[in-house]
């Protein structure tokens, strides 16, 4: 999905886009600290020295990758609007997650691992990826509120927590099936809600 979205509008990406895409992939796979500018440049097929024309610092490039991920999340969540009921939308979310279980087993959640890693920093950057989680929670809260739940916020936090937690376990144990079983459970839970 990442690639297909990024390529929207033509097979050729300009260098800036290629760098952001490369950053997303490599940062997800290797983590922020272990990823070098050279890694990203290579993934984007851009000369190392050229990176700094588009991004003044490594952090700025990471920020751009986070922003691009935010866009992806918005697009994905918006795509669930085609379902009429909030329950159907929530289940579509679970389905989307389940579809990515193999990648999650290998590299974890692209957003969760980013939050986890950047939260260790002591500069302003530590809060940067929080925006990604906020998107999920806000969306989920909206769904639960559409269902008439007063405790929509808590349910949203609980659901996203379950999502992030199962991603972590899936990654830790390298077992994609964990997501399948948990998604099934969450599906039943959604059904059980008034």
Which residues make up the interface to its own copies (CB under 8 A)?
Answer: 29-31, 33-34, 107-108, 112-113, 115-117, 119-121, 127, 129-130, 133-134, 137, 154, 157-158, 160-166, 168-169, 171-174, 178, 181-182, 185
| Sign (positive or negative) of CA dihedral 32, 38, 43, 48 | positive
Size of the site for DNA (CB under 7 A): 21
Residue 29 interacting with DNA (CB under 7 A): no
Number of Cβ atoms within 10 Å of the Cβ of 133: 18
140 closest CA partner among 69, 66, 73: 73
- Are the C-beta atoms of residues 160 and 136 closer than 8 Å to each other? yes
Report in angstroms how near the CB of residue 5 gets to DNA at its nearest. 11
Nearer to DNA, 8 or 82 (CB): 8
Answer whether 156's CB lies under 8 Å from 141's CB: yes
DSSP string, 32-45: TTT--HHHHHHHHT
Nearest approach in angstroms of CB 77 to its own copies is 17
List binders of DNA among 39-78 (CB under 7 A): 46-54, 56-59
Which residues contact DNA (rule: CB under 7 A)? Answer: 1-2, 15, 34-38, 46-54, 56-59
């Amino acid at each position: 999905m990442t690639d297909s979205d990024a390529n929207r509008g033509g097979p050729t990406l300009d260098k800036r886009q290629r760098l952001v895409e490369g950053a997303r992939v490599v940062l997800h796979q290797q983590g922020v600290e272990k990823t070098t500018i050279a890694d990203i440049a290579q993934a984007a097929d851009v000369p190392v020295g050229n990176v700094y024309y588009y991004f003044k610092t490594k952090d700025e490039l990471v920020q751009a990758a986070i922003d691009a991920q935010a866009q992806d999340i918005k697009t994905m969540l918006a795509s669930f609007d085609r379902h009429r009921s909030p329950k159907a939308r929530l289940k579509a979310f679970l389905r989307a997650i389940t579809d990515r279980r193999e990648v999650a087993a290998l590299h974890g959640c692209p957003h969760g691992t980013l939050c986890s890693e950047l939260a260790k920093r002591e500069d302003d950057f530590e809060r940067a990826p929080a925006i990604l989680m906020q998107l999920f929670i806000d969306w989920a809260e909206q769904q639960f509120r559409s269902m008439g739940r007063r405790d929509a916020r808590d349910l949203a936090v609980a659901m996203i927590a379950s999502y992030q937690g199962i991603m972590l376990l899936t990654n830790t144990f390298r077992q994609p099936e964990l997501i399948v079983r948990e998604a099934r459970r969450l599906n039943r839970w959604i059904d059980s809600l008034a």
